[in-house]
Amino acid sequence: MPGIDACLHEIMALPGARGAAIVDWTSGLALGTAGESPNGDHETTATETAELARAAAEYPAFARDAERARPPAEPTAGEAKGPPVEDLIVTTRTGYHVLRFVETTFDSSVFLHLWLDRDTGNLALARLRLQQLAERLVLA
Amino acid sequence: MKATTATSPDSRVSPMLVRLADERATGALLRDHGTLYLSEGRVVHAESPTAPGIDTLLTTGGRLPRDGWQRAVDEAGARREVGRFLVDSGRIGGGELEICHLGALYDAAFFALAPGSGPTRFRYGVAHWIGPVRPVSAAAVERETRRRRELLDQVWPYPAVDTAPVTPRPPAPGQSLTRRQRALLELADGVRTPAAIAWALGRPAFHTLLEVRRLAAAGLVDTPPEPPPDARPARPVLPAWIGEITADPDIALLRRLRDALEASL
């Protein structure tokens, strides 16, 4: 049951990790940050990545897809809350940005952001690790 | 818009908060619209009658049963460690508590630091029963509060929608609502204000204000006419929680009294 800082610490332990943050996508607030920021300013980066995450979480194109994939017989209580998108990956010339949504059982809008070096980072590993950490972050 | 906010005197959210942070003060900063709790100059908690508290955020969505929360307050409230007790007793994850608590803190601080909200007082030595969770710097709270004000105005510069009852308008052809917007509008009965909807949803009040401004900008919610500047109520009535705070014994004063009594015996 790690807190925000322990979670960020583990993200930064990934090979090629340059920076990480936990961001609220409704307000654009960075709840915690570690390492570098591509803008040189974690707050600015948080507001920018939050806009991207909000678009992904809210555009019907992605939401409908997730709703169709779910068997209609099981409208489980947990699924009615969390965003339908699991993660977002943005590839730049020098790096990857992975945005992983965190599902909480209370009403929230939070994601993890990892900035990964393209040469030294391992995208597949980072995706899996972010998924585990997003789950552990909210585990009692 | 950016230029005026940067140079206006309002850009300092609270000079008193800055001063208290500089002197590493511990206590409660009381304003008309809420309270900020400081520990050694850092903000450890905030409360506002407008913003749903961490108890509402955690219990409304069903994360914690109401009696589970109450037991934590009963057992750890007196020693001001409710936050730690919730985590140690396995009721909630450490990360989840921090996420929820920070959300409640910045939300209440936004309303507590609202401009023109009357006199500011500071009571030294007062601590909140939630206990330390994840203290943030006063500068971060100031910066975020200022950013949130600007964000609301960037989205839809009509503050009247913040306090008026939310009145939905039918979507235009091709316009669709997100799931979170639907949940919000289902509670818009023409009576509830954005803050009342936030309480009913167990969602931070600022998030609901922002969503309502976005909905108003999209024409999905009515924008009431702005009241002329002189028609606004000059001073809001004192909220009820002021009575509760002042009923709280001043620990420092009680200690001095006890010391004086002991010395005279």
Query: In this predicted model, what pLDDT tens digit does every residue of A15-70 receive, in sequence order?
Result: 999 999 999 999 999 999 999 999 999 999 999 999 999 999 988 888 765 555 55
Query: What is the mean predicted confidence (pLDDT) over A131-140?
Result: 89
Domains and CATH numbers, chain A: 4-137 (3.30.450.30)
| Chain A closest-CA separation from residue B255 CA (Å) | 36
Nearest alpha carbon to residue B203 among B179, B221, B223, B238:
B179
What is the phi-psi region of residue B195: left when phi exceeds 0, alpha when psi lies from -120 to 50, beta otherwise? alpha
Task: Show residues of chain A in contact with B171, CB under 8 Å.
Answer: none
What is the Cα–Cα distance from B125 to B254, expressed in whole angstroms?
11
Chain B CB within 8 Å of residue A24 CB: yes
| Global ipTM | 0.88
3-state secondary structure of B245: helix
> Where do the domains of chain B lie?
2-150, 156-221
CA B29 and chain centroid, separation = 13
Query: In this predicted model, what pLDDT tens digit does every residue of A1-24 receive, in sequence order?
Result: 579 999 999 999 999 999 999 999
Cβ distance of A105 and B90 shorter than 8 Å:
no
Chain B CB within 8 Å of residue A89 CB: no
Backbone phi, then psi, for A130, in 5-degree steps?
Answer: -65, -35
Give the up-direction half-sphere exposure of residue A66: CA atoms within 13 A in the CB hemisphere. 19
Cβ distance of B180 and A2 shorter than 8 Å:
no
What is the Cα–Cα distance from B194 to B188, expressed in whole angstroms?
8
3-state secondary structure A97-135: EEEEEECCCCCCCEEEEEEEECCCCCHHHHHHHHHHHHH
What is the Cα–Cα distance from A113 to A46, expressed in whole angstroms?
9
Q: Indicate the residue of A32, A106, A138 with minimum beta-carbon distance to B57.
A: A106
Chain B interface mutation, best of A107, A109, A111, A132, highest count of B Cβ atoms under 10 Å: A107
CB pairs under 8 A between A and B: 99
Q: Indicate the residue of A77, A81, A137 with minimum beta-carbon distance to B93.
A: A137
Which of 41-60 (A) contact B at CB < 8 A?
43, 47, 57-58, 60
**Which pLDDT score is estimated for B176?**
85
